[in-house]
Structure 1
Amino acid sequence: MTFSAGALLSEIGAEAETIRLAGVYALERIMRDSEKDHATIVQLLAAFIRRGSPMPKRVEEKSDPVVPDDVKAALFRARTCTTRT
């Protein structure tokens, strides 16, 4: 199975969370299979996490932010794939 970089970037930027999740999982697969693309994909996942992470508008806000499932998935994949064995 081959993936187009443009298609994957469209997926992780999609409005629908399920499509973003599919993009995250596809990036994980490429990251595991391609040594040359590994660092780039980690950077893409990091940017996705920064963009999608809920941040309180003010420091005084005490409520716990709700982290979307696609961001959780990206965090997990970036964490487990940063060291290649």
Structure 2
Amino acid sequence: MFKGMHPIFFVGIALLYGYNIGIMILEMTVIPPYDGVGIAPQFIYTSIISLCVINMALALMWVYIPEKAEEREKQKNEEEEEEVSSNGS
């Protein structure tokens, strides 16, 4: 099922779930549900940070890092081909 997937996918999943599990533990132990003034802190870190910031960062990471790896691999293959052709002539 996960064969052929770039390892950065699993790093991103670990970051996303690790953040959410850490916040869940903080909610259960430390953070009060509402401070009485303004908005609840859960709204800020759940809707803004979890849904927008982390997911956008992961999306960029999942696109950018594999593209750069493919470019490096292609460049390495081209250099090897040039080296073989120059040595063979």
TM-score by length of 2: 0.30
Between Structure 1 and Structure 2, the one with more helix by share is 2
Structure of greater relative contact order (alpha carbons < 8 Å, 6+ residues apart): 2
- Tell which structure's C-alpha radius of gyration is larger: 2
